[in-house]
Structure 1
Amino acid sequence: VTLFMLLLGAFNVLLHRYTGQGDIRVGVPIANRNRTEVEGLIGFFVNTQVLRTELTGQTRVAELLQGIKEHALGAQAHQELPFERLVEALKIERSLSHTPLFQVMYNHQPVVADIASVSTASGLELALVEWQGRTTQFDLTLDTYEKSGTLHAALTYANDLFDTPTIERMARHWTRLLQAMVLDGEQRIGELPMLDAAEQQRLVHSWNQTTEAYPTERGIHHLIEDQARRSPDAPALVFGTTTLTYAQLDARANQLAHALGEQGVGPDVLVGICIERSIEMVVGLLAILKAGGAYVPLDPEYPQERLAYMIEDSGIQLLLSQQSLLASLPVAGIQLIALDQPALWLDGYSRESPNVALNALNLAYVIYTSGSTGKPKGAGNSHRAVVNRLSWMQQAYGLGANDAVLQKTPFSFDVSVWEFFWPLMTGARLVVAAPGEHREPARLIDTIGRHAITTLHFVPSMLQAFIHEPGVQACASLTRIVCSGEALPLDAQQQVFAKLPAAALYNLYGPTEAAIDVTHWTCIDEGADSVPIGRPIANLGTYVLDAQLNPVPAGVSGELYLGGVGLARSYHRRPALTAERFVPSPFVTGERLYRTGDRVRQRADGVIEYLGRLDHQVKLRGLRIELGEIEARLMQHPHVREAVVLVQGGKPLIAYLVHAGEAPTDLKAWLLGSLPEYMVPTHFIALPKLPVTANGKLDRKALPAPDAAQPQAFVAPQGDLQTALAAIWSDVLGVEQVGQDDNFFELGGDSI
């Protein structure tokens, strides 16, 4: 019994470490003990029992083994109950793809006779024949048996789920766990060693050999000033029909920087900037950096309430904007400067660079992202982190004087940082798209052609709209297309290869908390079923860990942690949240790791594949959305008692509500007063109560799909025009039926 407990216990720990699940269910065959009832019969008289083990990384080995013993003895007390009756009683949904209740089997035989030593009176000769199973009923089966005083084990696996190297590695890990459990029953299972030294070295160190020497002790603006001295007369900034040379841009930014210095701007002083894309936007951003300050981008399309919160939370005392926006900004007590006022007001200021003592760890910007507590949070990144990121990008992709980068990403999204500053530090042209142009593929195609754009960024959803736009093949000047912000679909990659063969496609990944991007992948047609996010960029480290911060083996999913010089300094004015998300590194003394909340796995070559989120954060159109922020805001409505928001059934955002009293009729307009448009749900579904699981938790899978929750009479389209339009909507939105009374946006449409 003790050996059985130990072997099964180690197997349970292995499954826990490989899957990250705390509820492990293993099938165990039990021979029928009523031999008199089946004597004389031929057949398979083994019943299967399900041994369920609940464990965490804090569970001690002795506690685990005692629990297995109790569960096994309890199960054997009811072993006459056939497994099929158990499945029927529990009303388990049956599937041809897997067995119910469990997918892993464990079978132990205490003693197996040595066939070679068996003799027969009849003279029959017995010989041992090697047997190889060709089929398996389960995803994975572990067989152990005792023979001639030795313990033997075999793993049988479904080869459409596992490959041989993975199973061989799993066998080694099980053996190491078993050895560690024998040594000390008081160890916590999350601390049991599973990897050997070579595997630990490869996962933690070898795949993170990214050291490069970059000028990270200098500020972003210093690198741009260097370029202005090298090519003063070269075109630097283009917006509409206006072009500034490097010398002109540098001089205007210097003058504004001196003016900002008079207003108290210096190292680590935050300066707000709320302005539409324009020449003044770029001059303003560069001037803030030259003055030693850090900019806080405030999107003028945000609701007044959200802008007011960001202004108050950031603590800015100075806001740069434009004359058309001044009257509408919630800026009581804040000093305002309109950057588009007549330029004469700067004439008295020096055109030379300000002499500001700057530390590489001083902030360059604070960008606000959605927050799970109901309020956005600001992540502050240093000059060192950004310079490292931009220097790596130049080393990897090499911009030159003949290149033109299109800046079209809203500056409240951190991708805009490299769009603004990478071309200016390398002698390329920065072409700023007109306001709103980033949403219209046809206008983008025209801009790319007029300005001979070579490099631009897309979130994958926008890339898909762009690549299907008629005439996209005319964008022959494109040599680099950079994607990030969302998972890149394989189909989008293939479409780029087919329609823009001269353009290299790069898939980058990174959170706002780690200076734009932390991994990179050059897209190739390698026959895979997804597009990886790649390997860490220079001076960054990536670690795939379990809940106890143990590295997980290649091929096993875990949470992605980030380390190195790219990490943000902190969340602005949120020390508790900073401590929760930025944790001490168990691998490098004195360094921090950032917990991304992203679930990934590493291939055998170290390349990282993105699998999804571990929480309820989502990304729509490349913008991070904490669903908890929307839920918290909904709960503030006087007629909403409960609320849950999710993405389901191909629709963007769906809100499920339990009303308090009369049903609210103004929820969309009410939310738009405090949340940006992309965070307002498309569907609002009223329920008498939210579904819960047996343990009282919200059962998200039981929430009804929008069409099922809000049935309405279908009115068929009439005439050729309506029929054609309905067919287009059906194809684009992926819905089966479109009627006369349907609303494009409520069906899931958006501006893209």
Structure 2
Amino acid sequence: MAQLTPDSSHAPRGTAGTEDSYVISPMQQGMLFHSLLAPHSEMYVRQVILSLHEGVDAAALRRAWEAAVRRHAILRSGLRWEGLDEPMQEVHAHAPVPFEEADWRGLSGAERDARLESFLQAERQRGFDFSRPPLMRLHLFRFAEEDYRLVWTFHHVLSDASSDVLLLKEVFSRYEASRRGEDAEPASATPFSEHAEWLRRLDADGARAYWRGLLEGFAGPTPLPAASSRAAGESSRPSGEQSVRLPEELTSALKSFAQRHGLTLNTLMQAAWALLLGAYSREREVVFGAARACRRSALGGRGAEEIVGPFVNILPVRVPVSDDAPLAAWLKGLRDQWLAMRDYEHTPLVKIQEWVGLPHGVPLFDSVLTFDRRQMNTLLRALGEGWLRREVRTIQARTNYGLTLAGYGEDSFLLSIRYDTGRFDGATVRRMLGHLREAFEGFLRHEGGRLSDISLLPEAELHQVLYEWNGTRIDYPADACAHALFEAQAARAPEATALVFGDSRVTYGELEARANRLAHRLRRLDVGAETRVGLLLGRSPELVVGVLGVLKAGGAYVALDPAYPKERLSFILRDARAGVLLTQAGLAEGLEGHAEHVIRLDEDWQSIAAESARRPHAEASTRNAAYVIYTSGSTGTPKGVVVEHRSLCNLISWHNRAFAVGPEDRATQLAGLGFDASVWEMWPYLAAGASLYLPDEETRLSPTRLVEWLASEGVTICFLPTPLAEEVLSSEWPRLAALRIMLTGGDRLQRARPAAAPFRLVNNYGPTEATVVTTSCVVADAGADGAAPPIGRPISNAQVYILSRRLRPVPVGAPGELYVGGEVLARGYLSRPGLTAESFIPNPFADAPGARLYRTGDLGRFLPDGAIEFLGRVDHQVKIRGFRIELGEIEATLKQHPAVKQCVAVAREDAPGNRYIAAYVVADEQADADGAALRDFLRRHLPEHAVPAAFVTLDRLPLTANGKIDRERLPAPDESQSRRAAFVAPRSPVEESLAEVWKDVLGVERVGVHDNFFELRGNSLLVVRLISRLRQMFEVDLPLNLLFEAPTVAQLAVRIAEAQLGGVEADADEAARLLEELERLPDEAVRAMLDGDVS
């Protein structure tokens, strides 16, 4: 057991009119802080609703409560923190009990129920004035002659669940005695102050060693499946609650299981939650908070059972979640940790956080578990007599944690989750409860198994994610080759315009003839099925002729972008073993030796034109290769992706059906040949008889000119890489623009469609290995939550699975790696069977023999409607100073700042060992993306360790040849862009005063005006202390959350000055009028006014 230190400090006496005054317990301090931070948020306000099916003597009931308040000092206590280093509990001699009555007998049952629920929420949100005890209110509602509702609303600083039962037993025992005429005054109870004093004298050495050992290597709180990226702690919305009661048979089986293994239901609940957190976070180790009822060990085990007060403590539980762990041994380890914690269960959480060395904004956990063997209603009704006519309902207190799971080990196990509705939705929480039940059933089904045997998905959800959402089967021309679809259009409408490039136009008939002539020349060079032909061509009609000609000859083209370095082009030609290279004059210099035949489609066309214009006989089939595109490998060596005609035809068929493409459409061809989007930009439109428009290079690279060109050419459908699309979306569009669909993809889209945009925005996702597009969805207009648009659902004949590391489906809402199956899959990597086998694996969910899955390396999660949210790369999560950081989350949050047009976050290590996050920002033209402002904005939404160390403003983000952000070309930040700015001493009397108070409160030797309070190890208790001191020093009312909004001396000085000005804001119009008059005055008059000479 924890030992007491020999010297006991005595709490100071309180203010006049109080019986006693003492420093509140650490748990109470935490509750007070969060309640002050969000005063109307229900924070730590609890409610007990008693249904009294009996005649009620309201006067006697009031007297019983008044007697309880007199007997228990804590019920007569208020809290004082203004001007004090530590908050104090002040016990008043008298505290009138707020007891109100209302007669609702005239209301219908439905009206009563609705009014009661509305009242309960309003009463919780009302909160309490901590200086005015009692911190409780009572309301008695009469529903019928013998039907009442007693509502007891109180703050958690007064009581815990055990105290609630104790108090209610006492009150109603006193009430019944009073009705019998027995009104003897009860003896005073042992005060909670004894426990608070005992806590202050505990020896911390053993606890420090235990908690440091348990949490060694702790790397940040386990992330939760939030529906919103809104920061924890913002409490403007009410909390929600969802519950599920397990069947009695399942509960009985769980109790038997626990008994066989020497466990408790509490252990099983913690284990189920650990599995759920592991699945939702992809972490191999999870941490959550668990409430411990510390009453028995309080005061060294001497007589705390009858004391009313909050004896509960919240402590971290750290659980490894290894798939290979034997279930029984894993459960035993969890039980042993819980038992070992007993000796240190009184340790304040704030101390544990301090010992672990967590910076501001990094909590130990974001979910809390509480467990009771019985609900309050069961415990009280077990007393018999009058309690058999009463029913008790409790409403959990809202905490500062995202989720609070409460379990009650009744005959049918009750699980209830209270949650922050700003971060979680009811559907997500209901699914989580279903996953918990599956975990419990998994324990029973796999008693002798391993953790990997347990699935969290109910049968219906498993069917949904595997089959229902992948039910994309639809007919497509699976027996055709891509060029045959073009040929059908050329035969149908030979005079229709196929290509437009500047002033030149090419009809379908002309394009067919040119491609046929080229195909005949290629056939002379032995090009046929599975023959690879290099294409090194710029955006021009020759590019389209080259692509068609190769396929008509039966070959497969190898995409070569002129923007690529010569070394990369040389490698691709060697690796692809392309015997023929199609190019243009000047593009192939230095590459001639890599191909046996080099054909320049401009210089050599006169010779090619002599070939036949009739279609050649090609021996290619739908299973033959259509093209090879090289992608960057993780080793830096490009790898060629081989795509067959059948997959290309599926893309064409889906696209033209999804977007109703027809001959009247005008589409763009913007992407370079090396970007697989070029495939998508070309083939569907040529197969539909639409016209392809090719811009010149200057237009393609200028967002302003591009918008003008799209409008002037009457383009109806275009594809823009994500960075370019985000720029163009902020442009002003001509009212008469014909554009009806803007397609985008290639990077994570952060911007929604502006409401004024005259077209549909469609977000798309797909690796090159899955034939360009795998998922797609129309992007909704910009919403209030600022959430990034999803990537949609699988296209026709594609399947997308979101799987764990063990290739198991993850729950809806949980992150996992994206795996793609179906007709969209490429054949594999050219001449790399080992890499192909590693990336293209057997599909365990398909019935068809030989079905495969492609491992994308991307993270995503299913949204409730089946759409997929893209979460970044599996390897896009980095660690800085031991803390996990998701770069995509930084980008998504930064993008919500109104001054940010585009952004990217990267991890840099410009010097060995100096690893940090840098954010690169393109500012909106109408706003100033100041680094300090952006930093402060992120601090309000992200933990401190996720705030970039440097901010760099750029005119444009560097792009690759394919239009994606080129992270390798981002410049290194200079010293002026680092957050570690040089020390700046206070520059004004206010800043000097603030710096002195900071030094005293924080215990540091010097404070600069740009130092961050929380970076100097400020915590919640010190926030309360500092704000209290500042209120007295400057005689202004400063909210507790001010320090989170203005965490530096310089910022705080400005906010204090604003507060001291008082009503100046209210007179803004008058001030503006006076400023206008001042501007019209001559300089001499203004100087005179300043000198006081003008009245």
TM range (shorter): 0.7 to 0.9
What one-letter code is carried by the residue in structure 2 that aligns with 1:578?
A: T
What are the residue-to-residue correspondences of 1:153-168 with 2, within 5 Å? 153-168=415-430
1:55 matched residue in structure 2: 321
SS of the residue 1:381 aligns to? strand
2:458 matched residue in structure 1: 196
2:800 matched residue in structure 1: 542
What one-letter code is carried by the residue in structure 2 that aligns with 1:607?
A: A
SS of the residue 1:425 aligns to? helix
SS of the residue 1:615 aligns to? helix
SS of the residue 1:87 aligns to? helix
Deviations 1:133-192 (A, max 9, x none): 352342222333334x55443333233232333222222221221122123233232331
How far apart are the structure 2 equivalents of 1:546 and 1:174? 18
What one-letter code is carried by the residue in structure 1 that aligns with 2:657?
A: Q
Q: 1:109 aligns with which of 335, 349, 372?
A: 372
Larger radius of gyration: 2
1:93 matched residue in structure 2: 359
2:854 matched residue in structure 1: 594
1:2 matched residue in structure 2: 263
Q: 1:490 aligns with which of 725, 729, 751?
A: 751
For the Cα contact (< 8 Å) 1:108–1:144, is it kept in 2?
Answer: yes
Q: 1:508 aligns with which of 724, 743, 764?
A: 764
For the Cα contact (< 8 Å) 2:407–2:413, is it kept in 1?
Answer: yes
SS of the residue 1:611 aligns to? strand
SS of the residue 2:697 aligns to? coil
How far apart are the structure 2 equivalents of 1:239 and 1:645? 46
Structure-1-length-normalised TM-score: 0.79
Q: 1:443 aligns with which of 702, 705, 710?
A: 705
What one-letter code is carried by the residue in structure 2 that aligns with 1:600?
A: G
Matching of residue 523 in structure 1 with residue 764 in structure 2: no
Matching of residue 682 in structure 1 with residue 973 in structure 2: no
Flag the 1:212–1:177 CA change in 2: closer, same or farther, 3 A: same
How far apart are the structure 2 equivalents of 1:490 and 1:86? 41
How far apart are the structure 2 equivalents of 1:319 and 1:709? 54
- Per-residue deviation, 1:37: 7.4
For the Cα contact (< 8 Å) 1:266–1:291, is it kept in 2?
Answer: yes
- Per-residue deviation, 1:71: 2.0
Q: 1:313 aligns with which of 575, 583, 587?
A: 575
- Per-residue deviation, 1:236: 1.4
1:737 matched residue in structure 2: none
SS of the residue 2:302 aligns to? helix
Flag the 1:202–1:245 CA change in 2: closer, same or farther, 3 A: same
- Per-residue deviation, 1:336: 1.2
Deviations 1:189-244 (A, max 9, x none): 23313222222222211112212111121111010011111011222122222222
What are the residue-to-residue correspondences of 1:174-573 with 2, within 5 Å? 174-329=436-591, 331-332=593-594, 334-469=596-731, 472-473=733-734, 476-491=737-752, 493-494=753-754, 497-498=755-756, 500-501=757-758, 503-525=759-781, 527=783, 529-573=787-831
1:138 matched residue in structure 2: 401
Flag the 1:158–1:261 CA change in 2: closer, same or farther, 3 A: same
What one-letter code is carried by the residue in structure 1 that aligns with 2:356?
A: L
What one-letter code is carried by the residue in structure 2 that aligns with 1:439?
A: L
Flag the 1:706–1:353 CA change in 2: closer, same or farther, 3 A: farther
SS of the residue 2:392 aligns to? coil
For the Cα contact (< 8 Å) 1:60–1:185, is it kept in 2?
Answer: no
How far apart are the structure 2 equivalents of 1:552 and 1:677? 30
2:947 matched residue in structure 1: none
What one-letter code is carried by the residue in structure 2 that aligns with 1:246?
A: Y
Flag the 1:181–1:627 CA change in 2: closer, same or farther, 3 A: same
1:577 matched residue in structure 2: 835
SS of the residue 2:800 aligns to? strand
- Per-residue deviation, 1:678: 3.8
Q: 1:169 aligns with which of 415, 431, 438?
A: 431
What one-letter code is carried by the residue in structure 1 that aligns with 2:845?
A: F
How far apart are the structure 2 equivalents of 1:124 and 1:217? 77
2:284 matched residue in structure 1: 22
- Per-residue deviation, 1:273: 1.1
How far apart are the structure 1 equivalents of 2:782 and 2:905? 34
Flag the 1:684–1:315 CA change in 2: closer, same or farther, 3 A: farther
Deviations 1:255-313 (A, max 9, x none): 11111122221112221111211121111111111111111111112112222222222
- Per-residue deviation, 1:53: 0.6
For the Cα contact (< 8 Å) 2:404–2:419, is it kept in 1?
Answer: yes
How far apart are the structure 2 equivalents of 1:396 and 1:436? 31
For the Cα contact (< 8 Å) 1:685–1:710, is it kept in 2?
Answer: no
- Per-residue deviation, 1:13: 1.0
- Which stretches in structure 2 are left out of the alignment for 5+ residues? 1-261, 878-886, 892-903, 924-959, 983-1095
2:1078 matched residue in structure 1: none
Structure-2-length-normalised TM-score: 0.55
For the Cα contact (< 8 Å) 1:648–1:705, is it kept in 2?
Answer: no
Flag the 1:710–1:510 CA change in 2: closer, same or farther, 3 A: farther
SS of the residue 2:396 aligns to? coil
How far apart are the structure 2 equivalents of 1:162 and 1:705? 39
Flag the 1:86–1:276 CA change in 2: closer, same or farther, 3 A: same
For the Cα contact (< 8 Å) 1:616–1:627, is it kept in 2?
Answer: no
- Per-residue deviation, 1:94: 3.6
What one-letter code is carried by the residue in structure 2 that aligns with 1:570?
A: G
How far apart are the structure 2 equivalents of 1:541 and 1:346? 43
What one-letter code is carried by the residue in structure 2 that aligns with 1:682?
A: L
How far apart are the structure 2 equivalents of 1:115 and 1:677? 64
Deviations 1:375-406 (A, max 9, x none): 22222211111110111111111222222212
1:726 matched residue in structure 2: none
What one-letter code is carried by the residue in structure 2 that aligns with 1:59?
A: A
What are the residue-to-residue correspondences of 1:27-38 with 2, within 5 Å? 27-32=289-294, 33=297, 34-36=300-302, 38=304
How far apart are the structure 2 equivalents of 1:642 and 1:333? 46
- Per-residue deviation, 1:103: 1.8
For the Cα contact (< 8 Å) 1:409–1:438, is it kept in 2?
Answer: no
1:691 matched residue in structure 2: none
How far apart are the structure 2 equivalents of 1:476 and 1:599? 37
Deviations 1:60-106 (A, max 9, x none): 312321221332233224334333321221222244xx8x2122222
How far apart are the structure 1 equivalents of 2:916 and 2:403? 37
SS of the residue 1:610 aligns to? strand
Aligned-pair Cα RMSD in Å: 3.4
Flag the 1:649–1:54 CA change in 2: closer, same or farther, 3 A: farther
Deviations 1:357-388 (A, max 9, x none): 22212111111122211222222211111110
What one-letter code is carried by the residue in structure 1 that aligns with 2:383?
A: V
- Per-residue deviation, 1:485: 1.5
What one-letter code is carried by the residue in structure 2 that aligns with 1:69?
A: R
Count of residues in correspondence between the two structures? 651
Flag the 1:436–1:132 CA change in 2: closer, same or farther, 3 A: same
- Per-residue deviation, 1:476: 1.4
1:693 matched residue in structure 2: none
**Stretch deviating more after TM superposition (220-229 or 102-111):** 102-111
- Per-residue deviation, 1:567: 0.9
How far apart are the structure 2 equivalents of 1:515 and 1:55? 36
Deviations 1:542-595 (A, max 9, x none): 222222222223233322221110011112222232222222222103311122
For the Cα contact (< 8 Å) 2:540–2:694, is it kept in 1?
Answer: yes
2:190 matched residue in structure 1: none
